[in-house]
Amino acid sequence: MYDVVIIGAGPAGLSAAIACRESDLKVLVIDEFPKPGGRLLGQLHQEPNGEWWNGIKETQNLLDQAEKLHTEITCGVSAHHIEKTEHGYMIHTNIGVLDTTNLLIATGAAETAVPIPGWTLPGVMSIGAAQVMTNVHRVRVGNKGVVVGVNVLSAAIARELQIAGIELHSMALPISNPVTKNHANPRHVMDGLVRIAHLAPSAFLRFGSKFAKSAWVRNIAVNFYPKSGVKMWGMPIHIRKAIVQINGTEKVESVTMCDITSDGEIIAGSEKIIDVDFVCIAGGLYPLAELASVIGCPFQYVEELGGHIPIHNEQMETPLNGLYVAGNITGIESAKVARAQGTLAGYSIAKNIDKIQQAMKDVKSTRDSASIQFHPDIVEGRERIHRSFQTYEKAQ
Amino acid sequence: MDQTIICRCEEVSLQDIQNTAITYNCSAREVKLRTRAGMGYCGGRTCRPAVDAVLEAVTGEKAGHDIPMKVQPPVRPVSLAILGGKMR
Amino acid sequence: MMTNRILDHPVLGKLENQKTVTFTFDGVPYKGFEGDTIASALLANGIRQLRVHEETGAPRAIYCNIGHCFECRVTVNQAQGVRACMTSVEENMTVESGKLQAAPFESAPEEWPRTYAEFEQKNKGKKVGVPHV
């Protein structure tokens, strides 16, 4: 019987484990991947102050702290079901059933699929897949590629591929269909880019500052967007071009790119074939909450946080006794916020009253100073979830 | 109509889902049962939000606060050997 | 040869003194680094395709690379449905790609293959990996 089992050895899970071990709780951290670190492992970007954020080093720091406190971390463990019992939770895994009083779900996020014609061909992968291959496994995903989907995540990872010496032809939007809709709409994409420009890494800031914040300037920017794209780190970013088809028989051989109107409609006769051997598709992230769902945790859909969020309060407690959440399962934010949330969740689980208040402040200050913010109205979304928790508690 | 694959596991196209939704005026659950979209190996993890988006475009039905197409255990494919107590 | 390896990275540094492991994929021996997943070791060797769609024969490879999509499932030491992106490659591991399977409903019942051998005979020379969108 554990005091707490933590599912997910990313920044949130590891930080929570450290905070729990400070109070000498019996802790077990499990993760499906062979190495701890989660998606933090692949991260590599330059902060606005010029310093590199190196996910491998950041992970090692957390692991060193965890090891000093003799934290049990087991990788290669998949949880496929969780049951609530009288005294806590039973977690069904490929290494057997784990019994625990408290449970922290820190499963992070998954990428939203952006289906476009030809996207099942070998050589097409999600942008996160390319990040892991490049920075974690140190394997080139191809010789020359194109990124489909223009957003803060895809821009950051495109830069990581470039740094690793992988050639990218350009970034462009996906063809418009009922699934890709917002990702395929130049106006929507431009609004997103401008709103994050002031918070984004340095080159992005330069890119964003070319456009003012008012709607009419954005409108002009979309309507008169340069045919050759706006270059970022030497790579064209197109919001008036779309990838309409990925071509190949056994694997990716080329993509078909078209000019599009400011509403995302294809301009007939503008097709160009571009030879590439890989394609990265970027549809953004959504919270991965399936394990919270099978236990019966209540959810709320909050667009600002990226999707369906398990209801929780400011101390990361859910309405289910002993069930906590931290990291991207509570909303899409940077790894630094996930780390601060993990620490907070750990102190909450350990009932470490002295440290909870400070940890809550740390989450807020980390959020305020984040250099990458995924949605402009994160704070509002968070408040809605916390209010829902209160409403739910009252109703019970 | 569009041959773009939405559900990769079962190779269900956008057109299959649209046609089914229009013909039978389906809920997300009914589309899943009729087309097998989201019923493949990955358990709908990849296409679930996409199927919802197609449904919203066809029927105007928006995803509610509950997780779409309720998640059922096991959330990973699991062998009978593991269920029977054999480790790994 | 692991031709797709990023041995020298301007920020992450050099990859040095990596231990290699030898494994086979569809009977062909390959080398990977210790710590590689099956998927990363194969891609380092220029191998993308990991399986074909069971029914249509369309070629498939990694998509999400973090264990969600199951597109990379292969057979490892005779265990089916193993995710190549989540499984560490090990010395002497035998990895098999996912193959086309009998799809009896394509044709009239009297034409259905009665055994796998018959199915294989019927599909001999049939091109797998038809492009479709």
| CA A64 – CA A58 distance, rounded (Å) | 10
Residue A312 DSSP label? -
Q: Which chain C positions have a beta carbon within 8 Å of A41's beta carbon?
A: none
Tell me whether residue C133 is in a domain: no
Highest mean pLDDT among A69-78, C107-116, C123-132: A69-78
User: Would you place residue A176 in the very low, low, confident or very high pLDDT band (cuts 50, 70, 90)?
Assistant: very high
Please list every residue in chain A whose beta carbon sits closer than 8 Å to the beta carbon of residue B3: 117
Asked whether residue C111 is domain-assigned, the answer is yes
Inter-chain touch A128–C66, beta carbons under 8 Å: yes
CB pairs under 8 A between A and C: 112
Percent of chain B with pLDDT over 90: 31
**% of chain A surpassing 70 pLDDT:** 94
CA distance A139 to A346: 35
With a cut of 80, say whether residue A273 has pLDDT above it.
Answer: yes
Could you list the residue range(s) of the whole structural domain that residue C40 is in? 8-123
pLDDT at B80: 84
Q: Is A75 on the interface with B (CB under 8 A)?
A: no
pLDDT for A195 equals 62
Contact B46 C64 (CB under 8 A): yes
User: Is C1 domain-assigned?
Assistant: no
Task: Using CB atoms, pick whichever of A76, A133, A140 lies closest to residue C65.
Answer: A133
In chain C, whose CA is at the least distance from the CA of B15? Answer: C133
Number of domains, chain C: 1
A344 Cα distance to chain centroid? 20
Subunits touching A (CB < 8 Å, at least 3 pairs)?
B, C
Report strand pairing: C20-25 vs C94-96. Answer: parallel
C1 touches chain A (CB under 8 A): no
- Half-sphere exposure of residue A61, counting CA atoms within 13 Å on the CB side? 10
Beta-carbon count within 10 A of B25 CB: 10
Q: What pLDDT is stored for residue A375 in this prediction?
A: 78
pLDDT band at C133 (very low <50, low <70, confident <90, very high): very low
For residues A385 and B2, what is the distance between their CA atoms, to the nearest angstrom? 37
What is the C-alpha to C-alpha distance for residues A44 and A160, in angstroms, rounded to an integer? Answer: 7
**Tens digits of residue pLDDT in A319-375:** 999 999 999 999 999 999 999 999 999 999 999 999 999 999 999 999 998 766 677
Chain C: touching chains (3 or more CB pairs < 8 Å): A, B
Region A239-251 average pLDDT: 97
Cα C107 to the center of its chain, rounded Å? 28
Closest chain C residue to B77 measured between Cα atoms?
C81
Q: What is the pLDDT of residue B67?
A: 63
State the nearest Cα–Cα gap between C63 and chain A, in angstroms. Answer: 4
Question: ipTM value of the model?
Answer: 0.93
Task: Choose the weakest-confidence range: A110-119, A337-346, A387-396, C114-123.
Answer: C114-123
For C53, name the nearest residue in chain A, comparing CA atoms only.
A120
| Domains of chain A by start residue, with CATH | 2-110+285-395 (3.50.50.60), 113-281 (3.50.50.60)
State the smallest CA–CA distance between residue A121 and chain C in angstroms.
6
Cβ pair A56:C87 closer than 8 A: no
**Lowest-confidence range among A74-83, A136-145, A227-236, B27-36?**
A227-236
pLDDT digits (tens, 9 = 90+) for A6-57: 999 999 999 999 999 999 999 999 999 999 999 999 999 887 788 899 999 9
The tens digit of pLDDT for each residue in A206-221 reads: 555 555 566 777 777 7
Exposure string of A226-239, with b = 16+ CB inside 10 Å and e = fewer, is eeebbebbebbbbb
Residues of A in contact with C71 (CB under 8 A): 120
Across the interface, of A81, A115, A301, the residue whose CB is closest to B75 is: A81
Check CB contact of C14 with chain A, cutoff 8 Å.
no
Does the beta-carbon distance from C70 to B42 stay under 8 Å? yes
Arithmetic mean of pLDDT, C95-99: 96
- The total of other beta-carbon atoms located within 10 Å of residue A71's CB is 20
Indicate the SS3 state at residue A63.
helix
* Range name among A33-47, A228-242, B65-79, C13-27 with the lowest pLDDT average: B65-79
The answer as to whether C3 is a domain residue is no
Confidence of residue A259 (pLDDT cuts 50, 70, 90): very high
Inter-chain touch B8–C133, beta carbons under 8 Å:
no
Q: What angle do CA B45, B46, B48 make, to 5 degrees?
A: 70
Q: The domain that contains C24 carries what CATH number?
A: 3.10.20.440
pLDDT at residue A120, rounded to an integer: 97
The mean pLDDT of A80-96, rounded to a whole number, is 95
Is A113 at the interface with chain B, CB within 8 A? yes
Please judge whether B8 and C55 are an interchain contact, meaning their C-beta atoms are less than 8 angstroms apart. no
Radius of gyration of chain B (CA): 15
